[in-house]
């Protein structure tokens, strides 16, 4: 995304707070006017004392009082301006973060699967913070600096046009220097931001899986990878900082030339009697104030370059294509649970087809088990049913209606799902169970916990159902987390139940209880059970045996064993191992 496009998008956010911007500009202008009027009063004061042996104290007292008022008004104006600038900055940052987080909820799973989590987190947190720092500095110094430059020129022209011309002729050098350096810093800041996102992703990945890293003795490799990324970040950061640090001293050099030029030219005019001593001191003060904003703005350019780069990454995320919703949203509330796979084809990438011509008719209330080797497409079928991905060819129908004719909310409301990977949010045990159906009562949640055999261990927790769960349930065992996820699905009372290795983390004794709970839960409901342990799916009405994206065998447990095919081979190999 180009800088212009990024700036336009930032201005659209700022537009919502135009009244704060108005007050910021107003009090910034008031501050500049008061600041620039002060040298005039100082010049008058110098002239009132310039003649030898004569000081006009009556005039001097008035001037000193006016100077005190100007200083006070300047301080008040700058304070109000800073308050407005801070509010604009953090309101805009709040809005951007809110939009980014809402955007993430609407992004297709395909995007989230293909981008590192750490990079996305870095855009939402670190990049927005960097953008906020640059935006705040831009408001605080850039606006005031520009107004100071324009105001100073106006006052200087009123004193002496020729000396002002000296200032105007030398000034463009500052713009040239700042612009030259800014072009070279932008690419460095862009690379710095990208590598920072890569580093955040690695840290997030390693901290969250430190036990696995240590268990396999990968500490040295992880450290080497981190050091390599860290070295690149250091290299880009140093280059960006080096180029940007040249800006301030280079512009200061130009500004000193301006100040020297004003002093020499003003001295000649003073000697000729065409400029008073007070006016000369006023002009020198203006020359100093005129050049000061160039130093500040040159320093701001560095921060703005970084801020624009970070904002570009954030807006690039905001512009990602969302999941398209084409359904009218008028699906009937009742669902019998009839599911039809009509010649479904699907591939994650065009060059590697996965599901090929899957044709299946599931009657309401049937229990369908899906088995097969890793990578054969079992979980992919679940992803297609949930519309995490859309089929490439063919269609999936529920009650005779293409699932693409449902809104995703309507469709997913018909499912209850328990996955192999458990996920619990920060909150109490009760809140995590109610995550499945937030309008449910506490009594219903407790009943769901009892049905899933989670009630007994919940009662043993320090505060029972009000016990606060740590991040992703770190204070619970893997089996306890799985039980809570099962209770969440039980509470939904879905029309279609999906169990994807739902008992993989539970001990054998508890699994027997869970299986009986599932038997009760599956009564009258269409159920899809993905399983590796074939002993858990022997009671399924139909077992689909998949291989390379196709159903190669289909039937109940006894029928498939009697065929002595691939399923019998899988079953016998597991039985032999057990």
pLDDT in tens, 121-155: 878 887 888 777 777 777 667 777 777 878 877 77
Mean pLDDT of 10-37: 84
Are residues 364 and 296 both part of a single domain? no
Same domain, 155 and 273: yes
**pLDDT above 70 (res 55):** no
Shared domain for 271 and 163, answered yes or no, is yes
Span 85-91, mean pLDDT? 86
DSSP state letter for 387: T
Say whether both 307 and 363 belong to one domain. no
The pLDDT assigned to 197 comes to: 76
Region 269-288 average pLDDT: 72
Tell me, what's the pLDDT at 558?
Answer: 86
Q: Tell me, yes or no, whether 138 and 233 share the same domain.
A: yes
CA 502 to mean position of chain CA atoms? 31
Asked if 337 and 361 touch (Cβ cutoff 8 Å), the reply is no
Q: Which H helix or E strand runs over 529?
A: strand 526-530
**Confidence band for 183, pLDDT divided at 50, 70 and 90:** low
pLDDT the model gives residue 162: 77
Of the spans 263-272, 285-294, 400-409, 467-476, which averages the highest pLDDT? 400-409
Contact 9, 317 (CB under 8 A): no
- Model confidence at 76, pLDDT cuts 50, 70, 90, reads very high
More confident residue, 25 or 50: 25
Instruction: Report d(CA 396, CA 47) in Å as an integer.
Output: 91
Domain annotation covers residue 258: yes
Q: Look at residue 576 and tell me whether its pLDDT is greater than 60.
A: no
Number of folded domains that form the chain: 2
Q: Is residue 330 part of a domain?
A: no
184, pLDDT greater than 80: no
pLDDT digits (tens, 9 = 90+) for 192-236: 877 887 887 777 777 766 667 776 677 788 888 888 888 888 888
Average pLDDT of the residues in 349-373: 82
Q: Is residue 298 part of a domain?
A: yes
pLDDT of residue 302: 65
| CA–CA separation, 445 and 455 (whole Å) | 10
Judgement on whether residues 352 and 306 belong to the same structural domain of the protein: no
Given 289, 318, 347, the domain boundary residue is: 318
Q: The domain containing residue 507 runs over which residues?
A: 339-577
Percent of the chain beyond pLDDT 90?
1
436 and 526 together in one domain: yes
Q: How far is CA 231 from CA 186, 196, 202, in A?
A: 19, 11, 14
What global pTM score does this model have?
0.65
Residue 325 reports pLDDT greater than 70: no
Phi and psi at residue 343, to the nearest 5°: 50, 55
Neighbours of 329 (CB within 10 A): 10
Give the pLDDT confidence score for residue 116 in this predicted structure: 75
Q: Mark whether 312 and 377 lie in a shared domain.
A: no
* Most confident of the following: 20-24, 161-165, 249-253, 286-290: 20-24
Q: Where are the beta strands (DSSP E) in 403-494?
A: 415-418, 427-428, 468-469
In a domain, 201, yes or no: yes
pLDDT per residue as tens digits for the range 283-302:
777 777 776 776 666 666 66
**Could you tell me the CATH number of the domain that includes residue 539?**
3.40.50.300
CATH number at residue 172: 1.20.1560.10
SS3 218: coil
Whether residue 328 lies inside any domain: the answer is no
pLDDT for 504 equals 61
Once rounded to an integer, what is the mean pLDDT over residues 48-73?
75
The yes-or-no verdict on residue 578 having pLDDT over 50 is no
Mean pLDDT across the stretch 228-256? 78
What pLDDT is stored for residue 72 in this prediction?
92
Q: Beta strand 496-500 with 415-418: parallel, antiparallel or unpaired?
A: parallel
| Residue with the two structure tokens 């911007």 | 21
pLDDT the model gives residue 565 = 85
Average pLDDT over residues 563-568: 85
Q: Which of 318, 352, 368 is the last residue of a domain?
A: 318
Place 492 in a pLDDT band, splitting at 50, 70 and 90.
Answer: confident
277-318 helix and 219-271 helix, angle to the nearest 10 degrees? 150
Specify whether 364 is located in the same domain as 301.
no
Are both 436 and 479 inside the same structural domain? yes
Looking at residue 78, its pLDDT comes to 86
Is residue 117 pLDDT above 70, yes or no?
A: yes
Q: Please check whether residue 327 lies inside any domain of the structure.
A: no
Angle of helix 3-15 versus helix 18-50 axis, rounded to 10: 100
**110 and 53 within one domain:** yes
Is 333 a member of any domain? Answer: no
Q: How far apart are CA 432 and CA 480, in angstroms?
A: 12
What pLDDT was estimated at residue 577?
Answer: 46
pLDDT value at residue 257? 75
Q: 71 pLDDT band (50/70/90 cuts)? A: confident
> Distance between CA atoms of 550 and 569, rounded to whole angstroms?
17
| 199 and 111 housed in the same domain | yes
pLDDT of res. 472: 66
């Amino acid at each position: 995304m180009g800088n212009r496009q990024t700036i336009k998008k930032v201005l659209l956010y700022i537009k919502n707070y135009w009244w704060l911007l108005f007050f910021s500009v107003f009090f910034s202008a008031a501050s500049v006017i008061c600041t620039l009027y002060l040298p005039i009063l100082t010049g008058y004061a110098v002239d009132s004392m310039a003649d030898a042996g004569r000081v006009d104290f009556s005039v001097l007292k008035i001037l000193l009082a006016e100077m005190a008022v100007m200083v006070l008004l300047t301080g008040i104006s700058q304070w109000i301006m800073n308050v407005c600038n801070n509010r604009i900055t953090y309101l805009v940052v709040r809005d951007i973060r809110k939009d980014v987080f809402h955007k993430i909820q609407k992004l297709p799973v395909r995007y989230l699967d293909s981008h590192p989590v750490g990079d996305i987190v870095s855009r939402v947190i670190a990049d927005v913070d960097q953008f906020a720092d640059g935006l705040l500095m831009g408001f605080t110094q850039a606006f005031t600096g520009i107004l100071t430059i324009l105001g100073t020129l106006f006052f200087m022209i009123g004193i002496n046009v020729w000396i002002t011309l000296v200032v105007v002729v030398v000034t463009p050098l500052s713009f040239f220097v700042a612009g030259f350096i800014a072009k070279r810093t932008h690419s460095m800041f862009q690379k710095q931001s990208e590598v920072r996102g890569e580093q955040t992703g690695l840290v997030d990945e390693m901290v969250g899986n430190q036990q696995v890293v240590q268990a396999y003795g990968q500490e040295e490799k992880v450290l080497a990878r981190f050091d390599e990324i860290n070295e690149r970040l250091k290299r880009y950061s140093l280059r960006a900082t080096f180029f940007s640090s040249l800006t301030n001293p280079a512009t200061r050099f130009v500004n000193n030339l301006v100040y020297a030029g004003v002093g020499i030219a003003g001295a000649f005019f003073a000697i000729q009697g065409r400029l008073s001593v007070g006016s000369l001191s006023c002009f020198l003060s203006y020359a100093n104030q005129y050049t000061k904003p160039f130093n500040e703005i040159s320093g701001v350019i560095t921060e703005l370059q970084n801020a624009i780069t970070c904002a570009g990454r954030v807006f690039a995320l905001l512009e990602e294509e969302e999941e398209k919703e084409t359904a009218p949203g008028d699906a009937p509330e009742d669902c019998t649970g009839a599911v039809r796979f009509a010649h479904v084809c699907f591939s994650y990438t065009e060059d590697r087809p996965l599901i090929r011509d899957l044709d299946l008719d599931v009657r309401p209330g049937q229990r369908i088990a899906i088995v097969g080797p890793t990578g054969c497409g079992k979980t992919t079928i679940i992803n297609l049913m949930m519309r995490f991905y859309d089929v490439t060819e063919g269609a999936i129908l529920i009650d005779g209606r293409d699932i693409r004719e449902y809104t995703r909310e309507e469709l997913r409301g018909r499912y209850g799902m328990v996955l192999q990977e458990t996920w619990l949010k920060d909150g109490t045990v009760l809140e995590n169970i109610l995550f499945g159906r937030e309008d449910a009562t506490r009594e219903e949640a407790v009943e769901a916990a009892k049905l899933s055999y989670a009630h007994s261990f919940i009662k043993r927790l320090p505060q029972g159902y009000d016990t606060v769960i740590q991040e992703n349930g770190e204070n619970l065992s893997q089996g306890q987390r799985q039980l809570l996820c099962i209770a969440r699905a039980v509470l939904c009372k879905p029309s279609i139940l999906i169990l994807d290795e739902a008992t993989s983390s539970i001990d054998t004794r508890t699994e027997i209880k869970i299986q009986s709970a599932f038997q009760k839960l599956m009564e009258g409901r269409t159920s899809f059970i993905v399983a590796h342990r074939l002993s858990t799916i022997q009671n399924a009405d139909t077992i689909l045996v998949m291989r390379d994206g196709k159903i190669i065998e289909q039937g109940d447990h006894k029928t498939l064993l009697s065929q002595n095919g691939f399923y019998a081979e899988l079953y016998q190999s597991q039985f032999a191992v057990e």
